[in-house]
Amino acid sequence: MLDKKSQVTIFMILGIILLLSLLVLVYFKVIVTDKSSEIEKTTTQQFSDDPIKFYIERCIENTAKKGVFLIAEHGGYISPSGIAKYNESGDTEGFYNYYYFENKKLPYALDDGIIKLRPKKDIENVLSNYIKVELNTCLENFSFFKKQGFVFEYPELDLTTKGSNVSVLIGDSNVFVNVNWPLTIKKGNYKANLHEFGSSIDLRFGLLYSMAQRLVADASRQQPFDVAGKCRDYLPKDNLVNLYLESNTYTYQYVIRIIDIQSLIKWDLPLKFQFAVKNMELYGECVG
């Protein structure tokens, strides 16, 4: 049987072992907690909002491209007779004052020597309206990202939204679109704010419009007007743009079609700017 001194010694040893065990447990708990926090922090820091921005800018590009094709084939209008949805006033010439060509209403850009070609600034404004209205359709309310746990806060993009703006600049070789749209992205501890989005569409809308401007200006001053005599002045040197004249010689009404096939190189449709002319006499065309 152990004496009292031996019992005290054993209890002291057990106490020391228990204390050391507690210290070891506390130490490892602290390490595991720190590592977990570090992993969580690293995961948050490594996340990038680039895929979301890329997605938005691709939608801007696709929506703007559809708008460019639509407006170009209607002579600078979404519809010459107007569409309230886009604040498209039309050409205000009345229901019957259009040339119907391939089931499309075409505006008269030149009538009895009077130039009525829509100003480029007005075309930029209506394209901006089109993008504002149609962009939401492409974005699909970010449903793809919401399934991954992302939360989005943003004002709706429409023609009445304040604090959001879509600006368009039609250049000779590109159409530039800038969208100022406050967007907040959240996921767990992650939060980001995006505002500026942009896209450059490789379509030579401005080039075709400039050709139309020069043609109606020349035709308004000279009658009858030989289109073919001006081909060298109108067409670019790459021979990828053709200018066709569809005529109704009995009524002196014509359809001018300026077609750029450069976009075919990039597996896209040809860009076609077309409009009508009446009470004038034109002939000839420019085919590269």
Residue-level pLDDT at 11? 52
Instruction: List the 108-111 sheet strands across, edge first.
Output: 114-115, 108-111, 271-278, 253-260, 241-248
* Residue 246 scores a pLDDT above 70: yes
**Per-residue pLDDT tens for 252-282?**
899 999 999 998 887 889 999 999 999 999 9
Q: Per mean pLDDT, which range of 73-82, 84-93, 243-252 is the poorest?
A: 84-93
With 0-12 / 13-18 / 19 or more C-beta atoms within 10 angstroms meaning exposed / middle / buried, residue 176 is middle
Residue-level pLDDT at 96? 59
- Mean per-residue pLDDT of the chain: 84
Task: State mean pLDDT over 72-90.
Answer: 90
Residue-level pLDDT at 20? 57
Stated pTM of the model: 0.81
User: Can you tell me which residue has the tokens 């996921």?
Assistant: 187
| Percent of the chain predicted with pLDDT > 70 | 80
**Per-residue pLDDT tens for 85-144?**
998 888 765 555 788 888 889 999 999 999 999 999 999 999 999 999 999 888 888 888
* Residue 33 scores a pLDDT above 50: no
Q: Are 86 and 129 in contact (CB under 8 A)?
A: yes
Residue-level pLDDT at 2? 47
* Residue 37 scores a pLDDT above 50: no
Residue-level pLDDT at 41? 42
The domain ranges of the chain are: 50-76+119-201
* Residue 43 scores a pLDDT above 70: no
* Residue 24 scores a pLDDT above 50: no
Q: Which of 139-148, 160-169, 204-213 has the highest mean pLDDT?
A: 204-213
Q: How far apart are CA 194 and CA 239, in angstroms?
A: 42
Structure confidence at residue 17 as a pLDDT band (50, 70, 90): low
Structure confidence at residue 204 as a pLDDT band (50, 70, 90): very high
Tell me the residue length of the chain. Answer: 288
* Residue 40 scores a pLDDT above 50: no
